[in-house]
Amino acid sequence: MESEIGNKTDSGATVTKGKDLVEDIKIGYIGGGSRGWAYTLINDLAQCKTITGEVVLYDRVFESAKRNERFGNWVQDREDAVGDWEYTAVEDRATALEGADFVVLSTQDPPPETMAHELDIPAKYGIYQSVGDTVGPGGTVRAMRTIPVYRDIAGAIREHCPEAWVINYTNPMTICVRTLYEEYPDINAVGCCHEVFHTQEHLAKLVGKYRDTDQPSRKEINVNVKGINHFTWIDEMSWRGENLHPLLETHLKEEIRDRSFEPGSLDEDSYFVDNELVTYELYERFGIFPAAGDRHLAEFVPWFLTADDAKDVQQWGIRLTPSEYRVNRQEDALTKFHGPMNGEEEFEFFESGEELVDIIHALLGFEDLKTNLNMPNCGQVSNLPENAVVETNALFTDDCVMPLTSGELPAQVHNIVSTHVVNQETLIKAGFSGDVDLAFQAFLNDPLVTISMTDARAMFNELMTAVRPYLEDHWNLDNASVVH
């Protein structure tokens, strides 16, 4: 343990002695029209007996928040809902935040058409992105859009609920959390991502496969986590005290090395298909196991997405996410809300695998929780810069979060991770000063930008033009030497 945040002294919640029940919790939800995280939170809270209260939903698209209000209260009215929560949509963000005990951030602002530009324009220049929300040209421009939004959110939290616990789920995760702290250094904020959960599940499957036992829960898999979001690494892994590295070697030898794919062979597969080839290639080369899924990992280095044709990347067992999906999935996701309420399909509670309710539980003093999270570095990754947001394990306990020491990254892994850390820190500095030329430095230094300077400038200008309405109030575009 290196440091801690928290220890609030004032809360609107009513806590019963013995921690059997906490009543009157207020959760302010920014991005309360969410089609993903909100659905999961509604499901999880309705199955929670030990916390009660209100979720106040704010979204710039008010009708989206109203939809979630209707759905949340509809779920709560079910006989099998054991939780006691009320959902309220509001048109004013201050109302959602005022006096909140917890703030959840899962925003998509501006609309998904911007992300389509951030995928399609680089593709014109032969730069392919499997996700486009964290790094690469698309992730860099998304960061430029996000920093002003999150500065504004941090300022509102400082004004209306300065001691609230803030849990962020929005990407680019590192930039979002770093912006919150840069704007409001005393904020109690963490960033949560389920990428490591999937790696624990993978390791649990290896235990079941190679140890002649039932597959254990991912929570039985202990891992030491270090790195940055979507480029996280594990150097220690165990199950019931057994080192699991030999299972990785067995799996690599018996399964992974025999896997191969031709361009076009995955055209009928899900856009989220993951055959673990990128993961195990990085493990074999660097001797430390990456824990973020192939689609994210591939974007942090130049070796897997560099191709003459978009379909060529399928040799690594992944697909590119097309821009049409990014736009259309927003509407497609609505059926899970409307179908059950209209009687067109059944609704059943499910085990989400997410930990937001567990995090709230821990912070309210019920039961400690050890999990991975994103917070400013205060020594937990010893060879990354102080205050840069890193992803490691941490302990959530009564009104406190304690990041856990993970040690240093190996030299060559540090070399590739630190490039992104420097770029992210550069973007924060640029975003707070409005310096577009400084942001372009980070853009150029991204490992996926492997084209000529002339083409890089042209691509950057096209991207700036495409998303200009979301930048011009906060970035000094007119005086930037790179913009013409």
Per residue in 168-197, pLDDT tens? 999 999 999 999 999 999 999 999 999 999
Distance CA 374, CA 227 (A): 10
Tell me, rounded to whole angstroms, the distance of Cα 105 from its chain centroid. Answer: 11
Distance CA 305, CA 320 (A): 9
- Give pLDDT, residue 9: 35
SS3 state at 144: helix
Name the β-bridge partners of 396: 369, 401
Which one, of 459, 480, 467, 466, lies nearest residue 137 by Cα? 459
- Give pLDDT, residue 338: 80
Kindly give the parts of the chain with pLDDT less than 50: 1-3, 7-12, 14-18
Distance CA 372, CA 85 (A): 27
Do the beta carbons of residue 176 and residue 108 sit within 8 Å?
Answer: no
Do the beta carbons of residue 421 and residue 385 sit within 8 Å?
Answer: yes
- Give pLDDT, residue 36: 87
Which one, of 27, 178, 35, 185, lies nearest residue 107 by Cα? 35
CB atoms near residue 355 (< 10 Å): 21
- Give pLDDT, residue 11: 42
Distance CA 110, CA 30 (A): 14
For the purposes of burial, counting CB atoms within 10 Å of the CB of 466, is it exposed (0-12), middle (13-18) or buried (19 or more)? middle
Distance CA 141, CA 463 (A): 7
Distance CA 56, CA 321 (A): 33
DSSP E strands, 14-76: 14-15, 22-30, 51-58
Q: Of residues 194, 198, 245, 474, which has the active-site annotation?
A: 194
**What CATH number should be reported for the domain whose range is 10-193?**
3.90.1820.10
Name the β-bridge partners of 397: 400
For the purposes of burial, counting CB atoms within 10 Å of the CB of 63, is it exposed (0-12), middle (13-18) or buried (19 or more)? exposed
The conformational region for residue 445 under phi > 0 = left, psi -120 to 50 = alpha, else beta, is: alpha
Where exactly are the structural domains of the chain? 10-193, 195-321
Do the beta carbons of residue 252 and residue 280 sit within 8 Å?
Answer: yes
Query: Could you tell me the two tokens for 111?
Result: 């609309």
For this structure, is 194 an active site residue? yes
Distance CA 274, CA 170 (A): 22
Tell me, rounded to whole angstroms, the distance of Cα 475 from its chain centroid. Answer: 25
- Give pLDDT, residue 342: 84
Do the beta carbons of residue 450 and residue 467 sit within 8 Å?
Answer: no
Do the beta carbons of residue 144 and residue 130 sit within 8 Å?
Answer: no
In tens, the pLDDT along 263-290 reads 999 999 999 999 999 999 999 999 999 9
Question: What pTM was estimated for this model as a whole?
Answer: 0.95
Tell me what percent of the chain is helix, strand and coil, each rounded to the nearest 5: 45, 15, 40
Do the beta carbons of residue 14 and residue 23 sit within 8 Å?
Answer: yes
- Residues, the chain: 484
